[in-house]
Structure 1
Amino acid sequence: MKKIFGLGSKQGQPPPGFVTRLQKIRGTVACDTGSIDETFTEPRTALHLACAKGHIKVVRLLLSRKCEVDVGDNEGRTPLMKAVQYQETECAFNLLEYGADPNVTDDYGNTALHYAVYNGNMVLITKLLSCGANIEAKNKKQLTPLLLAINGKSLKTVEFLVKNKADTNAVDRHERNSLILAVRSQSEDIVQFLLQQSINVFYQDVFQLTAEDYAINSGYKV
Structure 2
Amino acid sequence: MEEELIWETHGLLPLERQLHEASGWNQVERMKDLIEKRVNIRARNHVGRVALHWAAGAGHEQAVRLLLEHGAAVDDMDSFGMNALLLSAWFGHLQIVQILVSAGAKVHCENKDGLTLLHCAAQKGHMPVLAFIMEDLEDVALDRVDKLGRTAFHRAAEHGQLDALDFLVGSGCDHSVKDKEGNTALHLAASQGHVAVLRRLVDIGLDLEEQNTEGLIALHAAAQGIHTDCVKLLLSAGSNVNVLTQKKLSCLHFAALGGSVDVCRALIKAGGCTNVADKQGTAPIHLAVRHNFPGLVQLFIDAHSDLDAMDIRRQTPLHLAAEHAWQDVAEMLLIAGVDLSLRDKQGKTALAVAARSNHISLVDMIIKADRFYRWEKGHQRLF
TM value normalised by structure 2? 0.49
Q: State yes or no: 1:58 paired with 2:145.
A: no
Q: How much is the aligned-residue C-alpha RMSD, in angstroms?
A: 2.4
Correspondence list, 1:141-160, <5 A: 141-160=214-233
1:37-83 per-residue CA deviation (whole Å, 9 max, x = no partner) reads: xxx44533221122233332232233234521111012211111222
Deviates more, 1:147-156 or 1:191-200: 191-200
TM value normalised by structure 1? 0.80
For residue 68 of structure 1, the aligned residue among 141, 156, 174 is 141
Contact 1:96/1:131 (CA < 8 Å) preserved in 2?
no
Deviates more, 1:120-129 or 1:197-206: 197-206
- Report what 1:172 is aligned to: 245
TM-superposed CA distance for 1:218, in Å, is 3.9
For residue 49 of structure 1, the aligned residue among 110, 114, 120 is 120
Contact 2:241/2:271 (CA < 8 Å) preserved in 1?
no
Name the CA shift for 1:163/1:19 in 2 (closer, same or farther; >3 Å): farther
Q: State yes or no: 1:8 paired with 2:79.
A: no
TM-superposed CA distance for 1:142, in Å, is 2.2
Q: Which runs of 4+ in 1 moved over 4 A?
A: none
For residue 161 of structure 2, the aligned residue among 68, 88, 91 is 88
The residue type equivalent to 1:54 in the other structure is: G
Percent of aligned pairs sharing the same letter? 23
SS of corresponding position for 1:43: coil
Select the structure with the greater relative contact order (CA < 8 A; seq sep ≥ 6).
Answer: 1
Contact 1:33/1:42 (CA < 8 Å) preserved in 2?
no
- The gaps in structure 1 that reach 5 residues or longer are 25-29, 35-39
In 2, the alpha carbon distance for the partners of 1:114 and 1:199 equals 20
For residue 256 of structure 2, the aligned residue among 183, 190, 194 is 183
Aligned residues: 206
- Report what 1:18 is aligned to: 101
- The gaps in structure 2 that reach 5 residues or longer are 6-56, 58-86, 299-383
In 2, the alpha carbon distance for the partners of 1:184 and 1:144 equals 17
Name the CA shift for 1:7/1:121 in 2 (closer, same or farther; >3 Å): same
In 1, the alpha carbon distance for the partners of 2:240 and 2:193 equals 18
Q: Which has the larger radius of gyration?
A: 2
SS of corresponding position for 1:16: helix
1:13-56 per-residue CA deviation (whole Å, 9 max, x = no partner) reads: x622425636x6xxxxx5x345xxxxx44533221122233332
